[in-house]
Structure 1
């Protein structure tokens, strides 16, 4: 017979999956209105201000080389443009165009849960959740 702790752990993991699915469904539906993937939409939303490709990659949790194709697609659609960084011309910045900024605003409006998935929690609950998740995310000590 499973213990209460096992049942609670299973419930918590199930809730993580449900939250992830809700976020993904909402993101995918909003992105589809622009014929974008959820990843492309997330990349676009990272470019409200001009940012290096490395920053886009960090926000997508991937390597900069993997972002090139995503940015290429957004650029083909006229949603972003590449610019040299004013302080170091070797660095390419990615910036949303006017059409891209309009799309970002519409995407955000269509994704209320993704914009603030913790909206149902007050400040104390958010802080507690953050502390608990930080405990789970810690690397085990060797």
Structure 2
């Protein structure tokens, strides 16, 4: 694989998705492995782009926390809530603020569960501070280049 080829998984490398219009306010996104998801403008049950941002925050950190804690014990319950306020200001335009990701994970009784419970808060902190590419990108603020090309 060359440096400009799109990769998948969790390692470093270029990432790419392609969006295709299905109709007014409805789109299909395809990843490099052929997976697809539909998104919309909120007029249907499709996820909106803002909901996908929240899903990406929850999903990215969940992968980190799950891999770390599940080495110790399989969780009995695993629910993560991502939420925030969509707002608009004259200086910053539309944006999200007060983003919060809350983990509610239950582990079994016993030594393995105790080990997972001990690792749980540390794994959330590691994801927030170092591991989760999505939340780290939001936290440090990365410029987004947008260009217009005539098809």
Structure with greater contact order relative to length (CA < 8 Å, sep ≥ 6): 1
With the length of structure 1 as denominator, give the TM-score of the two structures. 0.32
Of Structure 1 and Structure 2, the greater helix share is in 1
With the length of structure 2 as denominator, give the TM-score of the two structures. 0.31
